[in-house]
Chain A
Amino acid sequence: MAARRVLKAVLVDLSGTLHVEDSAVPGSQEALKRLRNAPVAIRFVTNTTKESKRDLLERLKTLEFDIAEDEIFTSLTAARNLLEQKQVRPLLLVDDNALQDFRGIPTNDPNAVVVGLAPEHFNYRMMNKAFRLILDGAPLIAIHKARYYKRKDGLALGPGPFVTGLEYATDTKATVVGKPETTFFLEALSGTGCKPEETVMIGDDCRDDVGGAQNAGMLGILVKTGKYRAADEDKINPAPYLICESFPQAVDHILHHLL
Chain B
Amino acid sequence: MHQLQAAGRAVRAMAEWAKQLAGIKGVMLDISGVLYDSGGEGGGVPIPGSIEAVEKTRLNCGCYSTHAHVDMSTAFAMIKASGLKLRFCTNETQATRGKFVAKLQRLGFNILVNEVTAPAPAACRILKERNLRPHLLVHDDLVPEFDQLDKANPNCVVIGDAADNFSYKNLNEAFRVLIGLENPILISLGRGRYYKETDGLKLDVGVYMKALEYACDVQAEVVGKPAKMFFQSALAEMEVEPQQAIMIGDDIVNDVGGAQQCGMRALQVRTGKYRPCDEQHPEVKADGYVNNLAEAVDIIVKQLHK
Contact = CB atoms under 8 A, between A and B. Distances in A.
Interface of A: 119-120, 122-125, 127-128, 131-132, 135, 147-148, 154-158, 160-162, 164-171
B203 A169 contact: yes
Contacts of B208: 165
Pairs of residues from A and B, 7 with the lowest C-beta to C-beta distance, nearest first: A161-B211, A165-B207, A165-B211, A164-B214, A168-B210, A119-B168, A161-B215
A31 B207 CA distance: 47
Interface string B136-177: 000000000000000000000000000111111101100110
A128 B172 contact: no
A124 B163 contact: yes
B201 A135 contact: yes
Contact of B168 (A122, A155, A169): A122
Given A157-B168, A169-B194, A164 B210 contact: yes
Contact of A154 (B176, B207, B213): B176
A21 to B, nearest CB: 22
A132 B193 CA distance: 12
Interface in B173-204: 175-176, 179, 193-194, 200-204
A160 B213 CA distance: 11
Interface string B207-238: 11011111111000000000000000000000
A163 B172 CA distance: 15
B242 interface: no
Chain A interface secondary structure, helix, strand, loop or mixed? helix
Interface in B238-252: none
Contacts of A135: 194, 201
Contacts of A147: 214-217
13 contacts: A122-B168, A123-B167, A124-B166, A125-B164, A128-B203, A147-B214, A147-B215, A148-B179, A157-B172, A157-B211, A164-B213, A165-B211, A168-B207
B33 interface: no
Contacts of B194: 131, 135, 169
A238 B36 CA distance: 56
Most buried by B among A131, A135, A148, A168: A168
B210 A124 contact: no
B206 interface: yes
A164 B218 CA distance: 14
A155 to B, nearest CB: 6
A86 B194 CA distance: 28
Nearest to B169: A119
A65 B211 CA distance: 39
Contacts of A164: 210-211, 213-214
Given A157-B172, A168-B207, 10 more contacts: A123-B168, A127-B207, A148-B215, A154-B176, A157-B171, A160-B214, A161-B210, A164-B210, A169-B193, A169-B204
Contacts of B214: 147, 160-161, 164-165
A131 B195 CA distance: 12
Contact of A148 (B175, B202, B210): B175
Contacts of B169: 119
Contacts of B168: 119-120, 122-123, 157
B113 to A, nearest CB: 28
A124 B202 CA distance: 9
B203 A124 contact: yes
Contact of A169 (B163, B166, B167, B207): B207
B201 A132 contact: yes
Contacts of A128: 200-203
A158 B216 CA distance: 11
A155 B176 contact: yes
A155 B171 CA distance: 12
A154 B164 CA distance: 24
B163 to A, nearest CB: 6
A254 B11 CA distance: 76
Contacts of A168: 193, 206-207, 210
